[in-house]
């Protein structure tokens, strides 16, 4: 165990979160929902792989053996991302974690566990008394396959011209066959490509051949469509008919497929947003027919003519989940179910609770929010940490109550750290009473993140 400050409240019923630190802020809403459902005091423990300079929240256990070895070798903290499959498997094997789980089970008889994305490698959930509050991992794994999505939603969703194939040789052939009719490029994705990690917009055979070399992988080959908006829709599936839509946000995408953040409310016209919600409801019902229960999101693009094109469904929480939780907390009536309360009832009962309240998607916005994720593109050394003087929830409350626009920097790795390429340096969340004020604060937060870097690592 790299670090831990776990202190259990003897009078509380505890749940456990397993995943990256960026989602620890959501524990408040899990706590809020479980407190209402159980009618008793609730606490939690977070098990994360993230190496940070400071862990200011309580009850966190950090498990990252590789970073611990690197700390001894380099003499400094090393922040690095760990594949979630690897981390989930390690959590299930860690003796200290199993002792903690057994201790909680002995006290309370059952233990809810939640993840940002359900993973089959988390063997803890196969222990008697432990339950995963989220979609079934086997369904999540199947739905994550982009080739499955395009086959399953053909005729239901507006899809770009595409082909599905097996092997890099066939992918190259199909890409070249499509290229004359795709002047803006051919988009190639492997079946599993989270965050654009295994996909790219290609403009030549050489690009394809250099990037995609697996002779047995499944590929989605599609026309790249120039567009002006990248909307994302967040929702919850209760069954094959009941789907809750939290809202629509505009994503910021770089290099054609790299997600950097989102802004809300969307700048799209109301009729297009309504069509996006309707399409997402269709997707949710299709997932519900497969047995999927829980929070999910759909990504789209909208071209200059206002045409919507489906990109993908993410059978998990999305990057906008925390901000929509904060938005709904400020705009729904007191006592209305939050997103995790909806997910809990969907998973355990297959229906939404009586205190479900749909948001008014046509109401004038009370505030504007935006986010930015700073992911390092090379190894970096940080010189200073970026402190967080208030929580994201507090910022939303401040601005909604008439306060000036502001921003928070979340999960900054800290000063004097070696940050490996592909790792999140930190995340900015800005809120304002106008879009312009929010964007100005977002820019300040992004600058603070950049200025926290001392130099590239040698």
pLDDT at 87 over 80: yes
The CA distance from 40 to 114, in Å, is: 19
Tokens of 180: 């004359």
Under DSSP, the state recorded for 365 is P
Please indicate, yes or no, whether residues 199 and 97 belong to a single structural domain of this protein. no
Q: 115 — phi, psi (to 5°)?
A: -135, 155
Closest by alpha carbon to 343, among 425, 429, 236, 257? 236
End of a domain among 198, 223, 248? 223
Average pLDDT of the segment spanning 238-243:
98
pLDDT at 221 over 70: yes
What pLDDT is attached to residue 382?
95
H helices present in 109-248, as ranges: 137-143, 146-152, 168-178, 205-211
Confidence of residue 195 (pLDDT cuts 50, 70, 90): low
Q: What percent of the chain has pLDDT over 90?
A: 87
The CA distance from 17 to 118, in Å, is: 11
User: Does 169 map to a domain?
Assistant: yes
Ranges 32-41, 60-69, 102-111, 305-314: which has the least confidence: 60-69
User: Does 141 map to a domain?
Assistant: no
Confidence of residue 247 (pLDDT cuts 50, 70, 90): very high
CATH number of the domain where residue 86 is located? 3.40.50
Q: Do the Cβ atoms of 91 and 124 come closer than 8 Å?
A: yes
End of a domain among 314, 339, 363? 363
What pLDDT is attached to residue 67?
83
Average pLDDT of the segment spanning 1-27:
94
Burial of 111 (0-12, 13-18, 19+ CB in 10 A): buried
Q: Write the DSSP string, 273-325.
A: HHHHHHHHHHHHHHHHHTT--EEEEEEEEE-TT--EEEEEEESS--TTHHHHH
User: Does 145 map to a domain?
Assistant: no
pLDDT at 280 over 90: yes
User: Does 456 map to a domain?
Assistant: yes
Closest by alpha carbon to 25, among 314, 326, 328, 303? 326
Average pLDDT of the segment spanning 362-375:
96
Distances (CA, A) of 1 to 68, 147, 420: 9, 38, 20
CATH number of the domain where residue 394 is located? 3.90.1170
Confidence of residue 197 (pLDDT cuts 50, 70, 90): low
Tokens of 236: 């919850």
pLDDT at 196 over 80: no
What pLDDT is attached to residue 3?
87
Please indicate, yes or no, whether residues 210 and 246 belong to a single structural domain of this protein. no
Residues in the chain: 458
Please indicate, yes or no, whether residues 210 and 96 belong to a single structural domain of this protein. no
3-state secondary structure of 54: coil
Average pLDDT of the segment spanning 28-52:
96
Please indicate, yes or no, whether residues 241 and 252 belong to a single structural domain of this protein. yes
Please indicate, yes or no, whether residues 269 and 350 belong to a single structural domain of this protein. yes
Task: Based on DSSP, count helices (H) and strands (E) in the chain, helices before strands.
Answer: 13, 22
Average pLDDT of the segment spanning 19-35:
96
Confidence of residue 53 (pLDDT cuts 50, 70, 90): confident
* Domain containing residue 398: 365-458
CATH number of the domain where residue 215 is located? 3.30.1490
User: Does 238 map to a domain?
Assistant: yes
Closest by alpha carbon to 50, among 388, 427, 408, 378? 427
User: Does 215 map to a domain?
Assistant: yes
Please indicate, yes or no, whether residues 369 and 351 belong to a single structural domain of this protein. no
What pLDDT is attached to residue 388?
85
Closest by alpha carbon to 184, among 272, 303, 298? 303
Q: What is the mean pLDDT of the chain?
A: 94
Q: Do the Cβ atoms of 231 and 190 come closer than 8 Å?
A: no
Please indicate, yes or no, whether residues 441 and 428 belong to a single structural domain of this protein. yes
User: For 363-423, where are the E strands, in sequence order?
Assistant: 368-375, 380-382, 406-410, 418-419
Please indicate, yes or no, whether residues 330 and 401 belong to a single structural domain of this protein. no
Please indicate, yes or no, whether residues 212 and 321 belong to a single structural domain of this protein. no
pLDDT digit string (tens) for 335-350?
999 999 999 999 999 9
Please indicate, yes or no, whether residues 213 and 233 belong to a single structural domain of this protein. no
User: Does 149 map to a domain?
Assistant: no
What pLDDT is attached to residue 58?
84
Q: What percent of the chain has pLDDT over 70?
A: 99
What pLDDT is attached to residue 458?
62
pLDDT at 24 over 70: yes
End of a domain among 326, 346, 363? 363
CATH number of the domain where residue 315 is located? 3.30.470.20
130-132 and 60-62 strand pairing: unpaired
The CA distance from 391 to 53, in Å, is: 18
If one counts the domains in the chain, the total is: 4
User: Does 112 map to a domain?
Assistant: yes
Please indicate, yes or no, whether residues 192 and 254 belong to a single structural domain of this protein. no
Ranges 22-26, 198-202, 285-289, 409-413: which has the least confidence: 198-202
What pLDDT is attached to residue 15?
98
Residue 43: which region, alpha, beta or left (left: phi > 0; alpha: psi -120 to 50)? Answer: beta
Please indicate, yes or no, whether residues 45 and 116 belong to a single structural domain of this protein. yes
Tokens of 338: 């939050």
């Amino acid at each position: 165990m790299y670090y831990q400050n776990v202190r259990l409240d003897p009078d509380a019923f505890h749940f456990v979160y397993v995943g990256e630190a960026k989602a620890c802020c959501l524990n408040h809403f899990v706590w809020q929902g479980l407190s209402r459902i159980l009618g008793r005091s609730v606490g939690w423990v977070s098990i994360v792989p993230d190496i940070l300079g400071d862990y200011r929240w309580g009850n966190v256990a950090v498990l990252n053996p590789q970073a611990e070895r690197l700390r001894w070798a380099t003499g400094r903290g090393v922040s690095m991302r760990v594949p979630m499959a690897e981390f989930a498997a390690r959590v299930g094997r860690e003796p200290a974690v199993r002792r903690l789980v057994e201790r909680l089970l002995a006290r309370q008889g059952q233990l809810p566990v939640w993840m940002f994305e359900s993973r089959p490698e988390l063997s803890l959930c196969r222990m008697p008394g432990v339950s995963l509050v989220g979609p079934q991992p086997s369904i999540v794994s199947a739905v994550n396959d982009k080739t499955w999505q395009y086959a399953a939603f053909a005729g239901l969703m507006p899809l770009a011209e595409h082909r599905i194939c097996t092997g890099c040789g066939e992918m190259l052939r199909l890409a070249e066959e499509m290229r004359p009719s795709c002047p803006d490029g051919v988009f190639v994705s492997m079946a599993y490509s989270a965050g654009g990690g295994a996909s790219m917009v290609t403009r030549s055979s050489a690009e394809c051949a250099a990037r995609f070399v697996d002779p047995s992988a499944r590929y989605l080959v599609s026309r790249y469509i120039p567009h002006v908006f990248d909307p994302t829709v967040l929702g919850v599936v209760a069954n094959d008919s009941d789907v809750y839509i939290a809202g629509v946000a505009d994503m910021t995408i770089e290099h054609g497929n790299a997600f950097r953040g989102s802004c809300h409310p969307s700048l799209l016209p109301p009729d297009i947003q309504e069509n996006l919600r309707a399409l997402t409801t269709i997707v949710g019902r299709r997932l519900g027919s497969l047995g999927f229960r829980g929070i999910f999101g759909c990504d789209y693009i909208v071209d200059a003519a206002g045409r919507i094109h489906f990109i993908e469904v993410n059978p998990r929480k999305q990057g906008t989940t925390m901000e929509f939780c904060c938005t709904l907390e400020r705009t729904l009536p007191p006592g209305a179910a939050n997103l995790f309360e909806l997910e809990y009832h969907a998973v355990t009962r297959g229906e939404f609770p009586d205190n479900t309240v749909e948001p008014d998607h046509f109401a004038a916005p009370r505030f504007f929010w935006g986010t930015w994720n700073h992911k390092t593109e090379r190894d970096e050394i940080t010189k200073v940490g970026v402190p967080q003087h208030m929580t994201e929830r507090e910022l939303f409350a401040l601005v909604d109550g008439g306060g000036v626009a502001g921003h928070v920097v979340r999960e900054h790795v800290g000063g004097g750290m070696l940050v490996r390429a592909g790792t999140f340096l930190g995340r900015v969340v800005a809120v304002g009473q106008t879009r312009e004020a929010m964007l100005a604060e977002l820019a300040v937060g992004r600058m603070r993140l950049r200025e926290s870097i001392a130099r590239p690592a040698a």
